[in-house]
Amino acid sequence: MVSKVFNSVGDNNDVVSSTGVTKQQQLLQCDYLVVGAGTAGMSFVDTIITENPDATVVLLDRNSQAGGHWTQAYPFVKLHQPSCLYGVNSLPLGKTFLSKNGNIKERYDIHDRVSGAEILDYYQTACDQFVATGRVKCIFDCEYKIFDEQTGLHTAAIVNNNSPTSSGATTTNDDGNNNDNNDDNVVFAVKCRKLVTVKTNVTVPSMRKPLIPVAENVHFVPVNEVPACAKSGKYKKYIVFGNGKTGTDAIINLLDEHQIDESQITWVISRDVWYFLRDAMEDVYHSSDIFMKMAEANSVKECYLTFEKEGLVGRLDTGTKNDVVPDVFKGPTIDNTELQTIQTISNIVRMGRATSIESNKVVCDIGSFDFSPEDTLLVDCMVDNLYGYDFKDDFKIFEPNRINLGPLTHFFNVSMSSAHIAFLECALDRKKNKNKNKNKTNNNGNTNNDDAKNKCCFFLRGPVYTLPNPEFLIGMMYMQNKSVDALMKVKGGSKFFFNSRANMMAPKHHKGGMTKLLWNTFGPKQMCQFDKKLAKKIESKGYSDIDHCFGIETFV
């Protein structure tokens, strides 16, 4: 593995010694060093090499393959949004068909959602496509280390993910020497124009230790182990912790795939959440009509209750039971049948967050309950944040010599947001270069045009506005509208936007194409007025329960 990766780095590069690193070294040179081959990094690379035919990239990831958190996802995971909106712009994902002139096409189909395994295959193909351009090197099992200001070089090291250090296994490096339990087999240096990193910190249960103390005798497992444990027949009871997308998937898997009776399941819910209901999203224009009602509501609560009436969102307890109005929204998407399935669970524990698991007792914020450790499986589906969405209030995407990915400039859409950022990087660099050629002295010191690029990126940031509460949805829509508005003013921006497969509104995804989009935008529905109406609502403090403008003042 090591020598294969090492060779793929490139045998003919100069060897450098100036970093002070003593191990075997090579120097790679590129325009962009992209750290992270998850969805954010992959979409960025794809758009950069498409928009800039000269750009060269080194893409590295500590995992053994592309796909980021999907490499460690539970076996029954699927996208919760349609496949046609996910991944890189240059490669379809999910169902395709051949157009009359023989082109491969995708259609927006809310029920077409590929599995985690299919996402990994897809990203492998995307990597092959990148490498085939001759402008991208993909290096896996590779940890980005450090930037040395003196030499201007970045350092990365090949790590051996297959080395079970605890078992005392040894690996061999290119010299044939043994590296006893040594993860850093090959160190190399990269000289690049810009470093691109992913600033979110997506952590799924299988990547981490339990978030709370757990007694040793307890069978507490990440959600990944549910199918095997359920099949083993060892467990009579199940306690599921967490009610976001992962917890919901675990409950549905137990009930539907393993025929576990609802009476065998206890569901620990720290706070109730709103779910998007995908049945209302079958036709994107129908769901847009519902979304636009956001600008008519007078409070966040009214907005969600209107959405609920229209079938766009749902919750565990409606008026018929305890009428719990959720105070969390993270965008999990399920369908009506799945909502009905999870609503069959009667043993719901609402005692706040679980704080520890003792040998036969679950302790929560405001109470505890007992369980029998011998025959109970406790399933960890807890998420301690909004998929690592945590940005300081002065966070910038474009900085001198670096680009920080992660912020969502498009509503819950990492793929589109990263492609958007890569597009701006190219489009506004081009503009700068053109101006520079016209008048060589026209350089205000901002050699990368970073200010202009940042002015096109609106996203939620700061500790107050990145909380996963219901107003987050309104704020994200507001920011997306501003980002799209700014993008339309960039040369080539509208072409990029409407041709991007990750864009939900891309005409090619929907029957009726551009004609239908134009009719919806400028016809009687006046979709074109929505962003103005929403902005006015927020900026005039028209929601009784929102007393701010999501920090928009910090962007201007």
- Token pair of 314 as six digits: 């749902």
Q: Does 278 bind ligand FAD (CB under 6 A)?
A: no
Q: What are the phi and psi torsion angles at 138 (to 5°)? A: -105, 125
**Shortest gap between Cβ of 502 and ligand FAD (angstroms)?**
8
Query: What is the spatial distance between Cα 483 and Cα 537, in angstroms, rounded to a whole number?
Result: 18
Round to whole Å and give the CA distance between 376 and 254: 13
Please select the residue that binds ligand FAD; options are 109, 118, 143, 183, rule is CB under 6 A. 143
Q: From CA 16, how far away is CA 188, in angstroms rounded? A: 9
Q: Which of 5, 26, 41, 417 binds ligand FAD (CB under 6 A)?
A: 41
CB of 164 to ligand FAD, least distance (A): 19
For residues 62 to 91, the per-residue mask of contacts with ligand FAD, x marking binding by CB under 6 A and - elsewhere, is xx----xx---x---x-xxx----x-----
Q: Which of residues 348-407 bind ligand FAD (CB under 6 A)?
A: 387
Helices (H), 12-136: 39-51, 116-132
Compute the distance between CA of residue 501 and CA of residue 454 in angstroms, rounded to an integer.
23
Pull the structure tokens for residue 413.
């859409």
Q: Cβ of residue 76: shortest distance to ligand FAD, in angstroms?
A: 10
Q: Is 189 left (phi over 0), alpha (psi -120 to 50) or beta?
A: beta
Which amino acid is residue 361, in one-letter code? K
Minimum gap (Å) between residue 333 Cβ and ligand FAD: 7
Residue 474 CA to residue 293 CA, distance in Å, equals 11
417 binds ligand FAD (CB under 6 A): no
Nearer CB in complex with ligand FAD: 41/475: 41
Among 47, 160, 200, 480, binds ligand FAD (CB under 6 A): 200
Part in contact with ligand FAD (CB under 6 A); list of ranges 194-202, 217-225, 365-373, 426-434: 194-202
**Nearest distance, CB of residue 480 and ligand FAD, angstroms:** 13
Q: How far is the CB of 182 from ligand FAD (least distance, A)?
A: 17
DSSP 441-463: T---S-TT-HHHHHTT-----ST
If DSSP codes are grouped into helix, strand and coil, which group holds residue 172?
strand
Applying CB under 6 A, among 39, 404, 448, 466 the residue interacting with ligand FAD is 39
* Shortest reach from residue 523's CB to ligand FAD, in Å: 29
Three-state secondary-structure class, residue 332: coil
Q: Which residue blocks in 97-199 are alpha helix, DSSP H?
A: 116-132
**Residue 36 touching ligand FAD (CB under 6 A):** yes
Among 413, 417, 448, 466, binds ligand FAD (CB under 6 A): 413
Answer for the pair 28, 190: CB distance below 8 angstroms, yes or no. Answer: yes
Tokens 């944040």 sit at which residue? Answer: 385
Binding test (CB under 6 A) with ligand FAD, winner from 33, 40, 379, 506: 40
For the bound state, the minimum distance from the C-beta of residue 42 to ligand FAD, rounded and expressed in Å, comes to 7
CA distance 259 to 237: 13
| Spatial contact of 89 and 46, defined as CB atoms under 8 Å apart | yes
Q: How far, in Å, CA of 292 to CA of 246, rounded? A: 29
Among 186, 190, 202, 277, binds ligand FAD (CB under 6 A): 202
Binding piece for ligand FAD, criterion CB under 6 A, among 15-23, 36-44, 477-485, 489-497? 36-44
Q: How far is the CB of 351 from ligand FAD (least distance, A)?
A: 25
List 33, 35, 280, 349, residue binding ligand FAD (CB under 6 A): 35
Residues 428 and 193: their CA atoms lie apart, in Å, by 16
Longest Cα pair distance anywhere in the chain, in angstroms? 77
Please identify, using beta-carbon distances, which residue of 49 and 414 lies nearer to ligand FAD. 414
Q: Out of 32, 144, 241, 472, name the contact with ligand FAD by CB under 6 A.
A: 144
x/- letters, 218..247, toward ligand FAD (CB under 6 A): ---------------------------xx-
Q: Binding marks (x or -) toward ligand FAD, 99..138, rule CB under 6 A?
A: ----------------------------------------
Q: Which stretch binds ligand FAD (CB under 6 A): 47-55, 199-207, 311-319, 540-548?
A: 199-207
Q: Identify the helix (H) or strand (E) that includes residue 425.
A: helix 414-438
Looking at the Cβ atoms of 75 and 507, the one nearer to ligand FAD is: 75
What's the rounded Cα separation, in Å, for the pair 292 and 529?
Answer: 9
CA Rg, the chain, in Å?
25
Q: Which helix (H) or strand (E) holds 293?
A: none
- Amino acid identity of residue 214, one-letter, is V
Q: Read off the DSSP letter of residue 256.
A: I
Residue 372 CB, nearest approach to ligand FAD (Å): 30
Q: Which residues would be at the binding site for ligand FAD (CB under 6 A)?
A: 35-41, 60-63, 68-69, 73, 77, 79-81, 86, 143-144, 198, 200, 202, 204, 245-246, 387, 412-414
